[in-house]
């Protein structure tokens, strides 16, 4: 168990009863605005008129009428919308698919009840880059990771933990200028036009929903952690890695508590104290750079920087695969089991996982293509849902659902969009998709069909093992 007491950030106002991470003090400039931080975070101006309460007129069944924000598009998705409105590195126009509300009219809706109906075609797990302590982002509790003494940067700004009206979130920086953000690598994800090519997806944020949005084998779990990634070269394509959560453990889950719950608890305590002192919460927030002046297109430039600098990094380079990485079944060295165990004596083991990937309870998953689960409900979301749930305690679950209701607006009023039980999940959608074809410039609708869902297991691939210097 990691000792949080020795790694906590400086105290701002008060310590929560659960011994949380304490949010560092925010520095205000002479003009009253927050000093610049290298992240994409929540802003009160992002709020959209919808809730998760099915009894209200703005509940899930009415999401189709949710309008975009004037001059700001779809809230925090504006950074992705701006990027997708530009062109990619091949000068090919990218489809601007962030301009309409598709809730209730999605071609491939989410969430769904996950029922596999096709074979898995993946040949490897979601690959992680080797952690580099001198350049890679890390959680504040990982500052001493691997006994590194050369790296002094932290993964995020002091306000990485956010309590929004819709969910609890943890943000990463919105570009790689301060540190290199976590990424995952997937192969063959864009179909035949990109077959046998790999794509890298940059982590934007994670958010928590209670109860789970997806249902597996008829079971709706207690919560769902969604890790939102954006394609490095196709910013209008997302991958969301989902970890289902079951509140059935006798003991607390240490990483979930110390890395996430404690930070959100400290954030709630901080805002309650400021509001108790009649200070407006808006002083804690700033308008992100991508909505201000010449910095409007900075995210796209950062994506190009990322693609050029990191897509062919040593750990991802095809030419080095056989030299640097040993996949399962390499009889020349050893034969590991499906979990990557059995080669430690030979100096080979699975790759080390940093936060948030250390929350993954499995390497295998269900996959399908769907949509966002909140307005504007737009598509091109590649879902990867871990097939094993993460176990937390009932106490942690109660703390989680309480925190979901603690969002405050700029006037310190409670403004949660959860239902009366503190839940924020979208109801299940029909697992069908609408295909279209173009004839004589007219769209003709074809028959509906089932959404294609695969279950990738150890029958498809084992966990990869690596040489010691590549772990």
For residue 293, what pLDDT is reported? Answer: 33
181 compared with 289, residue with greater pLDDT: 181
Q: What is the mean pLDDT of the chain?
A: 74
Q: How confident is the model at residue 97 (pLDDT cuts 50, 70, 90)?
A: low
The pTM score is 0.79
Q: Which of 33-37, 100-104, 134-138, 296-300 has the lowest mean pLDDT?
A: 33-37
Which range is least confidently modeled, 83-97, 132-146, 306-320?
306-320
Which tops the pLDDT comparison, 43 or 317? 43
> Which pLDDT score, from 0 to 100, does residue 163 have?
94
Q: Higher pLDDT residue, 383 or 343?
A: 383
pLDDT of residue 30: 25
How much is the pLDDT for 454?
95
pLDDT at 288 over 70: no
Average pLDDT over residues 271-278: 82
pLDDT above 70 covers what percent of the chain? 65
Question: What pLDDT was estimated at residue 292?
Answer: 34
Q: What is the pLDDT of residues 211-257, one digit of tens each?
A: 999 999 899 999 999 999 988 877 778 999 999 999 999 999 999 99
pLDDT digits (tens, 9 = 90+) for 181-215: 899 998 777 654 444 456 889 998 999 999 999 99
- Predicted local confidence at residue 265, as pLDDT: 96
The mean pLDDT of 397-408, rounded to a whole number, is 96
Does residue 44 have a pLDDT over 70? yes
Domain ranges of the chain: 44-470
Mean pLDDT calculated for residue range 164-174: 91
pLDDT score recorded for residue 231: 86
pLDDT of residue 304 exceeding 50, the answer is no
Residue 100 scores a pLDDT above 60? yes
CATH fold for domain 44-470: Carbonic Anhydrase II (3.10.200)
For the cut 90, the answer to whether the pLDDT of residue 62 exceeds it is: yes
Q: pLDDT for 352-361, tens place per residue?
A: 888 999 999 9
pLDDT at 96: 54
- Given a cut of 70, is residue 450 above it in pLDDT? yes
Q: Of the ranges 108-122, 232-246, 277-291, 423-437, which one carries the lowest mean pLDDT score?
A: 277-291
Asked if pLDDT for residue 295 goes beyond 80, the answer is no
**Overall average pLDDT of the 130-141 stretch:** 87
pLDDT at 436 over 60: no
Own/partner long-range contacts of 321-325 (Cβ < 8 Å, ≥24 apart): 324/466, 324/467, 324/470, 325/464, 325/466, 325/467, 325/470
**Top-confidence residue, 130 or 14:** 130
Residues 325-336: tens digit of each pLDDT: 444 444 446 778
CB count within 10 Å of CB 326 equals 21
């Amino acid at each position: 168990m990691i000792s949080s007491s020795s790694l906590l950030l400086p105290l701002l106002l008060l310590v929560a009863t659960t011994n949380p991470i304490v949010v560092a003090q925010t520095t205000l400039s002479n003009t009253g605005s927050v000093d610049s931080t290298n992240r994409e975070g929540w802003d009160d101006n992002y709020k959209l008129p919808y809730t998760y309460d099915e009894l209200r007129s703005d509940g899930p069944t009415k999401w189709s009428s949710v309008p975009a924000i004037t001059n700001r598009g779809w809230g925090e998705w504006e950074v992705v919308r701006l990027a997708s409105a530009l062109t990619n590195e091949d000068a090919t126009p990218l489809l601007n698919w962030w301009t309409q509300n598709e809730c209730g009219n999605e071609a491939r809706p989410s969430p769904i009840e996950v029922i596999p109906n096709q074979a898995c075609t993946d040949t490897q797990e979601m690959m992680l880059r080797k952690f580099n302590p001198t350049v890679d982002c890390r959680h504040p509790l990982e500052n001493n990771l691997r006994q590194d003494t050369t790296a002094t940067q932290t993964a995020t700004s002091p306000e990485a933990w956010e309590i929004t009206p819709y969910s609890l979130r943890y943000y990463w920086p919105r570009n790689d200028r301060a540190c290199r953000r976590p990424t995952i690598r997937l192969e063959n994800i864009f179909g035949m036009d990109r077959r046998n090519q790999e794509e890298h997806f940059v982590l934007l944020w994670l958010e928590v929903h209670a109860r789970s949005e997806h249902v597996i084998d008829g079971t709706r779990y207690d919560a769902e952690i969604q890790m939102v990634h954006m394609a490095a070269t196709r910013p209008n394509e997302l991958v969301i890695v989902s970890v289902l959560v079951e509140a059935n453990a006798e003991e607390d889950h240490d990483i979930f508590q110390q890395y996430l719950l404690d930070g959100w608890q400290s954030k709630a305590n901080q805002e309650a104290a400021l509001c108790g002192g009649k200070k407006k919460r808006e002083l804690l927030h700033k308008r992100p750079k991508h909505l201000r002046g010449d910095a409007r297109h900075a995210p796209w430039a950062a994506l190009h920087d990322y693609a050029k600098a990191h897509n062919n990094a040593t750990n991802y380079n095809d030419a080095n695969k056989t030299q640097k990485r040993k996949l399962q079944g390499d009889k020349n060295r050893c034969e590991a089991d499906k979990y990557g165990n059995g080669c430690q004596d030979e100096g080979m083991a699975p790759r080390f996982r940093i936060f948030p990937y250390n929350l993954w309870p499995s390497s295998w998953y269900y996959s399908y293509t769907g949509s966002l689960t909140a307005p504007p409900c737009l598509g091109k979301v590649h879902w990867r849902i871990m097939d094993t749930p993460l176990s937390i305690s009932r106490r942690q679950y109660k703390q989680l659902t309480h925190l979901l209701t603690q969002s405050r607006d700029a006037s310190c009023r409670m403004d949660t969009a959860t239902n009366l039980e503190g839940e924020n999940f979208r109801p299940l959608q029909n697992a069908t998709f609408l295909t279209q074809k173009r004839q004589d410039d007219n769209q003709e609708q074809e028959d509906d069909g089932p959404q294609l869902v695969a279950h990738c297991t150890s029958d498809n691939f084992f966990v990869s093992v690596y040489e010691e210097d590549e772990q």
